[in-house]
């Protein structure tokens, strides 16, 4: 009996120590993020105004803005999401629900897991060789969006598969017992139940893509751009235009890099302001992911 008491007391001490270590690790992340935000707020909050958001970059720090950068970021993310999300979700569904378990499937799964950890600069070099030189898409929004789509595609696939794995096998078996086909099971049962986890993975992947700089610099994204791409909607027929896809671009991380590299301290303040905008967008995306996950889980529970 005393041996059991000794074992229980030892386990409780281990649990207590583990809780302390976990709390300390969490505090390190929170304090680091807090210090970063505090530093950016002190430097860049004074530059956040309507003029800063609606002005083009300039060689004069007080006149410089981030209009072309945040518009480029928005268009790049539209292309990235349009390419990576459908393909990644479809690939995840195929590998988890349709593919046979053999050596080829195992090889594909290993490669996907490895691609999720490849440095982003490698994707930039691949896009430079394949999209810019081979397919001659140039240093365009389409090239930048596809490059980031390649980058986050493994993350979307893994997130989709993990979300599907959380669904009890009994749901599949019950649907098959009622005469449902494979696609009906996926369409009407698996996709709705896995939507929370899948959307969380997608938005976290997009949050990573929005802050990437190295692959976009590799393919030739501009560090200074004082014009906007052509509008996707026109007043004359055919009313919809794809010219903006082939337009040069810049994004917020590249604009920040350009400003930080300048000796004038006023440009560093501008970079801090752009960093606040970028962090706000990233935190907003993560907040949306948490909200979607909570609402979906609550709906499934009831």
CA 142 to chain CA centroid, Å, is 17
For 49-301, the fitting CATH number among 3.40.50.300, 3.40.50.720, 1.10.3720.10, 1.25.40.20 is: 1.10.3720.10
Q: Is the pLDDT assigned to residue 149 strictly greater than 50?
A: yes
Exposure b/e, 159-172, CB count within 10 A at least 16 = b:
bbbbbbeebeeeeb
Task: Locate all alpha helices (DSSP H) within the chain, ordered by sequence.
Answer: 2-44, 50-54, 67-93, 103-115, 120-127, 141-165, 169-177, 182-185, 191-210, 214-218, 252-260, 265-301
Q: Is the pLDDT assigned to residue 299 strictly greater than 80?
A: no
Bridge partners of 240, per DSSP, are: 233
pLDDT band at residue 190 under the 50/70/90 scheme: confident
Least confident of 145-149, 260-264, 267-271: 260-264
Mean pLDDT, rounded, for 230-249? 80
pTM confidence score: 0.85
CA-CA distances (angstroms) from residue 205 to 166, 172, 246? Answer: 20, 28, 24
Question: Alpha-carbon distance 272 to 7, whole Å?
Answer: 54
Considering the chain, what is the average pLDDT of its residues?
Answer: 85
Mean pLDDT, rounded, for 292-296? 72
Contact 249, 75 (CB under 8 A): yes
Question: Angle 211-215-216 (CA atoms, 0-180°, nearest 5)?
Answer: 75
Question: Alpha-carbon distance 213 to 256, whole Å?
Answer: 10
Closest Cα partner for 228 from 68, 77, 69?
68
Residue 302: the pLDDT is 45
Condensed to tens digits (0 to 9), the pLDDT of residues 193-235 reads: 888 788 888 888 888 888 888 888 888 777 778 888 888 877 7
Cβ neighbours, 10 Å, residue 270: 28
Question: Alpha-carbon distance 142 to 229, whole Å?
Answer: 12
Residue 8: the pLDDT is 80
- Measured over the CA atoms of residue 231, residue 281, residue 151 and residue 204, the dihedral's sign is negative
Contact 230, 189 (CB under 8 A): no
Token pair in block for residue 113: 């897991």
Residue 117: the pLDDT is 80
Condensed to tens digits (0 to 9), the pLDDT of residues 35-87 reads: 888 888 888 888 888 888 888 888 888 888 888 888 888 889 889 989 999 99
Torsion of CA 242, 243, 248, 251, to 10 degrees: -40
Condensed to tens digits (0 to 9), the pLDDT of residues 92-113 reads: 999 988 888 888 888 888 888 8
pLDDT band at residue 301 under the 50/70/90 scheme: low
Bridge partners of 233, per DSSP, are: 240
Is residue 158 classed exposed, middle or buried when 0-12, 13-18 and 19+ CB atoms within 10 A define those classes?
Answer: buried
Token pair in block for residue 12: 């409780």
Mean pLDDT, rounded, for 140-162? 92
Question: Alpha-carbon distance 198 to 202, whole Å?
Answer: 6
- What residues have CB less than 8 Å from 75, skipping those under 6 apart? 141, 145, 229, 244, 249
């Amino acid at each position: 009996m005393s041996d059991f008491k000794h074992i229980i007391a030892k386990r409780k001490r281990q649990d207590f120590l583990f809780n302390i270590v976990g709390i300390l690790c969490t505090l390190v992340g929170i304090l680091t993020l807090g210090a970063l935000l505090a530093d950016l707020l002190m430097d860049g909050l004074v530059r956040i105004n309507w003029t800063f958001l609606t002005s083009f970059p300039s060689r004069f720090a007080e006149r410089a803005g981030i209009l072309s950068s945040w518009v480029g970021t928005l268009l790049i993310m539209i292309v990235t999401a349009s390419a990576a999300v459908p393909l990644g979700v479809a690939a995840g569904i195929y590998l988890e629900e349709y593919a046979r378990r053999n050596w080829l499937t195992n090889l594909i799964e290993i490669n996907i897991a490895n691609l999720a950890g490849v440095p982003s600069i490698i994707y930039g070099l691949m896009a430079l060789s394949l999209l810019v030189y081979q397919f001659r898409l140039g240093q365009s929004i389409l090239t930048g969006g596809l490059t980031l789509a390649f980058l986050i595609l493994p993350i979307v696939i893994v997130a989709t598969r993990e979300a599907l794995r959380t669904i009890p096998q009994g749901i599949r078996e019950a649907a098959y017992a009622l005469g449902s086909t494979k696609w009906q099971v996926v369409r009407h049962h698996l996709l709705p139940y896995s939507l929370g986890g899948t959307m969380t993975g997608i938005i976290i992947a997009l949050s990573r893509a929005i802050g990437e700089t190295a692959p976009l610099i590799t393919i030739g994204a501009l560090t200074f751009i004082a014009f906007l791409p052509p509008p996707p909607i026109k007043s004359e027929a055919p009313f919809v235009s794809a010219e903006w896809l082939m337009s040069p671009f810049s994004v917020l991380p590249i604009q920040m890099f350009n400003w930080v590299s300048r000796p004038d301290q006023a440009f560093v303040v501008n970079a801090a302001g752009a960093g606040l905008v970028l962090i706000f967008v990233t935190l907003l995306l993560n907040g949306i992911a948490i909200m979607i996950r909570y609402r979906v889980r609550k709906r499934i529970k009831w």
